[in-house]
């Protein structure tokens, strides 16, 4: 892949199609882009559902034996092929040696997650000791806020984006109440300017600058789940620290999607789930990050035996020897059956780098954007022809792989027609479709096929 990709996907596409002597919209270009893709072999590491196996598929419209167009890895990543093998190993170990599995085999259950934390740390740009794999995302968000949200009479607000993911909204709301404050006064939810879909980076920084003295915690998402906007986490962290706030991020849509440098940026805390871009399966083991600068100073509010130093954990002395940093936040022993699928996926990430994935991602999503704009930009001469507006920022540095498409026609029937044709994506009523070409396993031909099927679906839905 050429180094200029990051600057302009459009230029790369036009240059390559010229070289091939085809139109930029031709399928030939997609095939050539796949040919040149240095990461194309990674798709082989995953199980891609066949069209015939997706419940809404209509086999009178499409060939059921082909792989579906899976553009919903932002909700649930695909299953790595080695998942089943790893799970079977542990089930077999349990069957054969029972309790001895805690200390034997490839993944001794008592410290199984430790073997994969380094791999996870690489994905989020952290040191291994800054990361704990445990619980679910919302649980981790609560545990972190219990330590980092210490409101005072003057500094009691939590700043987050308006229309944050519901679980984050509820978590923040309930944490504020738990501390005896009123969400109406302490929850500061930032909306885009009237008529705009995404937040301007400078508006976020300005609110922090102006209201920072009353903000206890800045708690943004890394990538906004609905719009696909990637926030400048480094700048937000710097701005928050300047005003004396703690800064944390929910990286559910950013982990495995964007290049994160949680350590270098000095982020105070972060959490994420692993079943979206990190492919660990529904309800998979979640991540938590606490920067090493807080290893001795910020303490967990709630304790469990797994936060105890492993060397003496099983002496059962009932005198806590707390592990420093995020490791002290562990409560329970690990669910080994959740460690297995996560390990399977992290090993695939380890075959490449977030940098390489991002490079492909920018071109892949840029290609999708190019085709959508080509076919569905509003035509002033034919304003009633269905058209599409992209809510996600145009700048590749301000988005991950997802595009949120807003349609000029109601989306329900279009979505239904897409599903009948073997496309898996996500609809938000009344008019938004979220599509996520994932660089780990999606191809340029997937993107081309999606746009073709979108054309058919729009036509069918207008009948």
Ligand X SMILES: *Cc1c(COP(=O)(O)O)cnc(C)c1O
What length is written for the chain?
463
Choice from 71, 148, 149, 225 touching ligand X (CB under 6 A): 225
Residue whose CB is less far from ligand X, 137 or 342: 137
Cα separations in angstroms, 88 against 96, 114, 337, 339, 381:
12, 20, 10, 12, 61
Which span (21-29, 65-73, 164-172, 257-265) binds ligand X, by CB under 6 A? 164-172
Residue 253 found at the interface with ligand X (CB under 6 A): yes
Residues 6+ apart with CB under 8 A from 463: none
Half-sphere exposure of 450 (CA within 13 A, CB side): 30
Q: Judged by CB under 6 A, how many residues of this single chain contact ligand X?
A: 12
Which range binds ligand X by CB under 6 A, 163-171, 397-405, 437-445, 447-455? Answer: 163-171
Question: What residues contact residue 228 under an 8 Å CB cut-off, 6+ apart?
Answer: 253, 391, 392, 393, 399, 400, 402, 403, 404, 434
Cβ nearer to ligand X, comparing 223 with 363 = 223
Q: State the nearest-atom distance from the C-beta of 103 to ligand X, in Å.
A: 30
| CB of residue 146 to ligand X, shortest distance in Å | 16
Instruction: Single out the segment in contact with ligand X by CB under 6 A; choices: 21-29, 135-143, 152-160, 188-196.
Output: 135-143
Does 165 interact with ligand X (rule: CB under 6 A)? yes
Considering beta carbons, is residue 278 or 458 the nearer one to ligand X? 278
Which residue in 116, 199, 236, 252 binds ligand X (CB under 6 A)?
252
User: What's the helix, strand, coil split of the chain in %, to 5?
Assistant: 45, 15, 40
CB of 275 to ligand X, least distance (A): 7
Residue 10 contacts residue 16 (beta carbons within 8 Å): no
Using the minimum distance from each CB to ligand X, give the nearer residue, 8 or 167. Answer: 167
Closest CA to 448 of 13, 20, 27: 27
Q: Which of residues 188 and 295 has its CB atom nearest to ligand X in the complex?
A: 188
DSSP reduced 3-state for 191 = coil
DSSP 8-state secondary structure symbol assigned to residue 295:
T
**Segment near ligand X (CB under 6 A), from 245-253, 348-356, 371-379, 420-428?**
245-253
55-63, 131-139, 175-183, 338-346 -> range binding ligand X (CB under 6 A)? 131-139
User: Is residue 167 involved in binding ligand X (CB under 6 A)?
Assistant: yes
How many CB atoms sit inside 10 A of residue 70's CB? 24
250 binds ligand X (CB under 6 A): yes
Please tell me whether the peptide bond between 327 and the residue prior to it is cis, using omega within 30 degrees of 0.
Answer: no
For Cα atoms 27, 31, 35, give the angle at the middle one, nearest 5 degrees: 165
Residue with smaller CB distance to ligand X, 57 or 138: 138
Shortest distance (Å) from residue 277 CB to ligand X: 10
Instruction: Say which residues have a Cβ less than 8 Å from residue 381's Cβ, sequence separation at least 6.
Output: none
Which tokens belong to 288? 């938590």
Among 137, 245, 336, 340, binds ligand X (CB under 6 A): 137
| Near ligand X by CB under 6 A: residue from 221, 345, 361, 392 | 221
Q: How far is CA 158 from the centre of its chain?
A: 22
Sorted by sequence, the CB contacts under 8 Å of residue 139 that are 6+ apart come out as 286
| Helical (H) or strand (E) element with 287 | strand 287-290
**In the complex, what is the shortest distance from the CB of residue 73 to ligand X, in angstroms, rounded to a whole number?**
12
- Site residues (vs ligand X, CB under 6 A): 136-138, 165, 167-168, 221, 225, 250, 252-253, 273
């Amino acid at each position: 892949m050429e180094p200029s990709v990051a600057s302009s996907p459009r230029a790369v596409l036009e240059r390559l199609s010229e070289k091939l002597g085809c139109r930029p919209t031709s399928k030939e270009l997609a095939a050539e882009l796949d040919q040149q893709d240095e990461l194309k072999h990674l798709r082989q590491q995953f199980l891609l559902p066949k069209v015939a196996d997706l419940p809404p598929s209509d086999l009178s419209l499409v060939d059921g034996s082909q792989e579906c167009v899976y553009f919903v890895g932002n909700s649930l990543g695909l299953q790595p092929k080695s998942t089943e093998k790893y799970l079977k190993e542990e089930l077999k170990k349990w069957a054969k040696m029972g309790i001895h599995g805690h200390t034997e085999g490839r993944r001794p259950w008592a410290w199984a997650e430790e073997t994969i934390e380094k791999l996870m740390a690489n994905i989020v740009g952290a040191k291994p000791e800054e990361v704990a794999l445990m619980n679910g995302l919302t649980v981790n968000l609560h545990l972190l806020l219990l330590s980092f949200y210490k409101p005072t009479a003057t500094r009691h607000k939590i700043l987050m984006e308006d229309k944050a993911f519901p679980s984050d909204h509820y978590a923040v709301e309930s944490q504020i109440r738990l501390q005896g404050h009123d969400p109406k006064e302490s929850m500061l939810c930032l909306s885009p300017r009237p008529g705009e879909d995404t937040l301007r980076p400078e508006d976020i920084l300005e609110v922090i600058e102006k209201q920072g003295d009353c903000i206890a915690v800045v708690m943004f998402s890394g990538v906004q789940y609905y719009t696909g906007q990637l926030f400048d986490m480094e700048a937000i962290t710097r701005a928050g620290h300047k005003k004396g706030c703690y800064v944390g991020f929910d990286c559910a849509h950013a982990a495995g999607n964007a290049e994160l440098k949680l350590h270098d940026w000095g982020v105070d805390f972060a959490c994420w789930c692993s079943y979206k871009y990190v492919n660990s399966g529904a309800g998979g083991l979640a991540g938590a990050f606490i920067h090493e600068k807080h290893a001795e100073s910020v303490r967990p509010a709630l304790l469990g035996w797994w936060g105890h130093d492993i060397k003496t954990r099983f002496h059962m002395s009932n005198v806590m020897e707390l592990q420093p940093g995020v490791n002290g936040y562990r409560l329970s022993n690990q669910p080994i059956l959740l460690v297995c699928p996560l390990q399977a996926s992290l090993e695939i990430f380890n075959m490449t780098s977030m940098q390489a994935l991002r490079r492909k991602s920018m071109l892949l999503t840029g290609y999708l954007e190019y085709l959508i704009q080509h076919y569905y930009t509003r035509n002033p001469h034919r304003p009633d022809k269905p058209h599409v507006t992209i809510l996600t920022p145009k700048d590749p540095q301000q988005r991950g792989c997802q595009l949120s498409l807003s349609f000029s026609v109601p989306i329900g029937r279009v979505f239904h027609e897409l599903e009948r044709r073997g496309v898996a994506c996500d609809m938000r009523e009344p008019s938004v479709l979220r599509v996520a070409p994932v660089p780990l396993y999606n191809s340029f031909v997937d993107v081309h096929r999606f746009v073709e099927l979108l054309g058919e679906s729009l036509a069918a839905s207008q009948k």
